[in-house]
Amino acid sequence: MDLKKINAELKGKSPEAIILWALLRANKPVLTTNFRPYEVAIIHACTSVKRDLPIIWCDTGYNTPQTYRHAEKLINDFSLNIHLYAPKETSAHRDVVMGVPAVDSPMHDIFTEQVKLEPFRRAMQEHQPDVWFTNLRKGQTAFRDSLDIVTQGNDGILKVSPFFYWSDAELDQYLEDFGLETEFKYYDPTKVLENRECGLHIATTVKS
């Protein structure tokens, strides 16, 4: 698969066209979401093309009340085919044992493994997707700047980011055009800062 050629051809396409391109090559596609700001855009775009697309939500258990209300509204409004994955320990139990470690703490890697990476691996093992839709965008982190619309992991899964080259302003317009709401009071305890990676996307090594 010539990813360089594919990305050059897809760069000027609409998100819906990119999604359709990927679905035509997929047997078991999935979308992952954490209901962070602007996730509604990719949820809307993907389900507009494939209504019953499986949507994996790995809930860390540490989302804000606003994020949980936003997620429930989208799940109900769009009748989403949600597959929920949670850590094996409750957040109440973990709060007693370790709390939420600072990012420079030796415990932070263990925390991230428990609340995000293990549930994600479990989800992917159960679904065995060949196409994985994400809302990664250029400019979010240095690592994500090295990616493109379509990348491929060492597991062979095609990772497709239909809004990769879109700015916040363009997404704001998309939301306005389709009457969509987003929620900005979001917190990820594995990242804390927007320009940090939790390791989930880095773990799915990209090959050229």
Domain ranges in the chain are: 3-207
pLDDT band at 194 (very low <50, low <70, confident <90, very high): low
pLDDT band at 144 (very low <50, low <70, confident <90, very high): low
Contacts of 88-93 with CB under 8 Å at 24 or more apart are: 88/114, 88/118, 89/114, 90/61, 91/60, 91/61, 91/62, 91/115
Q: Which residues contact 121 (CB under 8 A, 6 or more apart)?
A: none
pLDDT of 102 higher than 60 = yes
Lowest mean pLDDT among 118-132, 139-153, 185-199: 185-199
Q: Residue 192's pLDDT is what?
A: 62
pTM of the model: 0.87
SS3 assignment, position 178: helix
At residue 17, what are phi and psi to the nearest 5 degrees? -65, -40
Which tens digit of pLDDT belongs to each residue from 7-62? 999 998 999 999 999 999 999 999 999 999 999 999 999 999 999 999 999 999 99
Residue 65 Cα to chain centre, angstroms: 19
Mean pLDDT of 126-152: 85
Pairwise pLDDT comparison (174 vs 2), residue with the higher score = 174
Q: How far apart are CA 188 and CA 167, in angstroms?
A: 21
Supply the CATH classification number for the domain 3-207.
3.40.50.620
pLDDT of 205 higher than 50 = no
One-letter identity of residue 179? G
- Residue 189: which of 89, 120, 106, 91 has the closest Cα? 91
One-letter identity of residue 180? L
